[in-house]
Each structure stands twice: as C-alpha cells, then as structure tokens.
Homo-oligomer: A and B are copies of this chain.
C-alpha cells in the first residue's frame, strides 16, 4: 500500500483527535491529503491540547463534542471511510476514583459506536486503540495477544469491554473492526504537565525544568516504549488493509528497558538531570502491573510493521519538541 495514495481524499474521523496520538495522526493525514474530522470533548484531565493541532487548524474540521452527548456518535460517522477510535478515559488511578465515567466512555460509547455503525455506515473501517493494561500482571514475557486478560484496575475492565463490543460488532454484524493494543507511547505533543497521562511525560517535564525524576520502587520494572510516529504508522496500515478486519494486534518494541535504565537514558540524552528513588505510593502500587514487554509478531507478519525509531532518537526528538514549545507543554 502507498499510504499517500490510499488516504488522498479519504474521509477520516478521529475521536480524541486533540490528544497526543490522535493529533499526530491528524497531522500525518492532512499531509496525505485526507479529509480529516477531529472530534474531541477536550475534557479536563484528558490529554487534549489545542496546541496539538497548530498548523493544521484550517485544514481539518474540528468538532468540540462529547461522545456521550445525544447524536454525536451517529452524526460524526455518517459518510466517513475510516474511524480512528482514540477517545478514551485512559487514567488508571482516575478509573479507581470515578469508575462509572470510565465505564461510560470506554465501554458504553464503544457499544453505541458499534450500533450506529451497523445502522448508518456498515462499511466504515474502525481502528480501535486498546491497552496492554488489560493483560494485568503477567509472568512470561513477551506477552502475545492470546495471553489471558486479567486487568487489575477498573480501566482495564472498561477498555476490555469496549474492545469486546467492537469485536462482537465484527462477529455478529460483519463490521470492519481492528483493535491495536498499544503499549507506552511517547513523543512530541505528549502530555507533560503531570503524571496523569504517563509517567514519562512527567519525567520529560522534570528533566526540562531541572527537577529530579521520581522512580517508584527500585526501578527494576521492565516496560516497552513506542515512538508516536511508529504508532501512527501502525494505525494507518491497519486501516488500509482489509485482512485486519476482526483482528487484534499488540504493538511493542525490541528495546524493553527497566525504569532505572530509562531514567538514565533520558538524562543522558538531555545531557543532565537527577534521579530520585521513592517509595511506591500505595494507590499506584496496588494497580501496578509489574514487568511488561509486548510481542508484536502478529502485526509484523500481517502488516510488516515494526518500530523504526530507537529510544534514544525518540527521546531526543521529544525533549527537543517540548523544549521548543515550553509555553504550551510545560
């Protein structure tokens, strides 16, 4: 597939399109000549940032709308070719504090998308984004898609229910659904103002503002990281390839790394920075998943996808972007 050709004039709707990944996808699609509609409620505490679409404001159609409001889902997807389904309540701690909002956004709204798509646009391609958090505490790494789903927080439950609704949409109604299970995604435009979206955003801010990076526990936990451009490439390929209908794919990385090593890499790439070890806050510890490393063999086989940006390169780009746009991101 030549994505530039495939996407030209395609009608694309991106939910959560003011967020980090959605907006990066929107920039790419505008470059490909697609007709991009961004739908985002810009909820407080979400990753939505109006600066994320700087430079493409006039090239996209922006709907400030909440998927929970009457008719938004039905209206947004009529006559569209592809739905990139990135709107989600992503916070694990937040899900423990307000689990019903988490359930409504991540599961009920997905059910409504399936029903609306079935009724109004049954040939729409839906690329959904799920999360490795659904696997829970895992033991044998790397984790492939057949691993048991044992979430340890409410967010993992609601995200799994949303994915299952979309898959029932495929099985029972023939809808064209693909779910990508993302691992930690980082890059330019990531939310850095606090640790609500991702601890790595918090670390980036701390490095750039001469504050110590906080590592919980002994820092031995293993994680994998994908640079946002690699995630966008996976989303674009999945949407354009019909054989992905009804399938679920992990993303992942060949560079799993401990949090201690990640902290040292980040400070080394920036050229300075301090690291402090601190006790695990109890509310975070009880929902910590331990080690994680995703097996992306399946998407590599199906779409020849593999991450192409090394952690050092990606971290350097991220630091450079946020450092240049401090007023919007710090």
Neighbouring B residues of A91 by C-beta, 8 Å:
none
Instruction: Choose among B157, B168, B287 the residue that contacts A165 (Cβ–Cβ < 8 A).
Output: B157
Neighbouring B residues of A146 by C-beta, 8 Å:
148
Neighbouring B residues of A73 by C-beta, 8 Å:
none
Interface residues in A162-182 by Cβ distance below 8 A to B read 164-165, 167-168, 171-172
Check B167–A153 contact: CB distance below 8 A: no
Instruction: Choose among B111, B150, B286 the residue that contacts A100 (Cβ–Cβ < 8 A).
Output: B111
Instruction: Choose among B99, B150, B160 the residue that contacts A115 (Cβ–Cβ < 8 A).
Output: B99
Closest residue of chain B to A248, judged by CB? B150
Check A103–B108 contact: CB distance below 8 A: yes
Using C-beta atoms within 8 Å of the partner chain, give the interface range for chain A: 20 to 34
For residue A185, CB closer than 8 A to chain B, the reply is: no
Instruction: Choose among B96, B158, B286 the residue that contacts A161 (Cβ–Cβ < 8 A).
Output: B158
Closest residue of chain B to A161, judged by CB? B161
Check A153–B172 contact: CB distance below 8 A: yes
Neighbouring B residues of A103 by C-beta, 8 Å:
107-108, 111
For residue A156, CB closer than 8 A to chain B, the reply is: yes
Instruction: Choose among B100, B152, B172 the residue that contacts A96 (Cβ–Cβ < 8 A).
Output: B172
For residue A233, CB closer than 8 A to chain B, the reply is: no
The residue in A154, A157, A287 that gathers the most chain B C-beta atoms within 10 A of its C-beta is: A157
What are the interface flags for A136-158 relative to B under an 8 Å C-beta threshold, 1 for contact and 0 otherwise? 10000000001011111110111
Closest residue of chain B to A174, judged by CB? B286
Instruction: Choose among B96, B136, B156, B161 the residue that contacts A157 (Cβ–Cβ < 8 A).
Output: B161
Given the known interface contacts A107-B103, A148-B146, the answer about A168 and B172 at a Cβ–Cβ threshold of 8 Å is no
Check B151–A164 contact: CB distance below 8 A: yes
**A156 and B166 alpha carbons, distance in the complex (Å):** 13
Given contacts A152-B168, A152-B172, 6 further A-B contacts (CB under 8 A): A96-B172, A103-B108, A150-B167, A156-B168, A160-B160, A161-B164
